[in-house]
Structure 1
Amino acid sequence: MTRRGVTAALCATGSIIGALAAIGAIGGFRLNLTPSEPLGIWRIEPLHRAAIAGDLVFICPPAKPRFEEARQRGYLRRGLCAGRFAPLIKTVAALPGQRIDIGVNVEIDGEVLGSSRIRKTDGEGRAIDPYPGGTVPPGHLYLHSSFASSYDSRYFGPVPDSSLLGLARPVLTFDP
């Protein structure tokens, strides 16, 4: 193939990928490449009620310094949310008014949250500070992932429910 043919093929491939990404964004589809939930294609389904504990949701991280530091450390990816963060897929673990206590594990209203061991360091051996605990404030959600190394509310605390995009529904996923 000639240099012109290779260039044309690369341009065509780039155009197709761009078009698929645009269609996916418009249709509420997202590609999950993190181990917090199964890898693959997910869809954001509008939520026409208040979030409840157990909902698997897409949420935009707030544009705050703690999340910028998390992106610099590689915990978060760039995306279309405020602050240029990619949406997170997490499970709603606690709602406003519920008490979060942090020890070896997370406790919600005195009950240990499964798969919630608190790590003192990240995968690179860097210190990571946990959320100190407290009551989930009005208009906020406490999020969790059962993946041991997940960056979730164990470390960043409750997040505003106004950044909730909708329910996370798998379309085509692969368990590693």
Structure 2
Amino acid sequence: YPESIGYISPFYGNFGVIVKAYAYILLLGREGLIDVAEKAVLNANYIKEKLKKDYKLPYDKPCMHECVFSAEWQKEKGVSAIDIAKFLIDQGIHPPTVYFPLIVKEALMVEPTETESKDTLDHFIAVMKEAAKLAETHPERFAGFPDNTPISRPDEVKAARDLNLRWNKK
């Protein structure tokens, strides 16, 4: 392929990530790593407690660095986990992992990082509550989300079945 940069082996492909992780560890040091780990756990549990009345909580116990919700209550109104993710995109929020873990129906796995501020967490919680309320009152609105992106709702099934893995220079 004349436009290709050639084969990149896994070692070189991941080398930059390894350097960044190592630099982060060195920068934080022992106490700093303990601190950020505690903050990640605290952030996840904070979100879990604030949203457990709005989304089904498959496991109501303390969590580690991530918390898992189920959009089963919203699904009863016709709003799926992916619909909620598209709503979040429209609100300028990177959506959580959807449909994983596989053992949770309509899973939404939220993984707040250790560096998120309380204001950022509260904003995320408010938008998630807004999504839950909208699913209850106007579920039909979710069919059009996202509205504020250049591409609205691509046909993801078609994209998965008809893969185009080549870049064509225009």
The TM-score with structure 1 as length reference comes to 0.25
TM-score (norm 2): 0.26
Of structures 1 and 2, the larger Rg is shown by: 2
Higher percent of residues as helix: 2
Report which of the two has the higher share of strand. 1
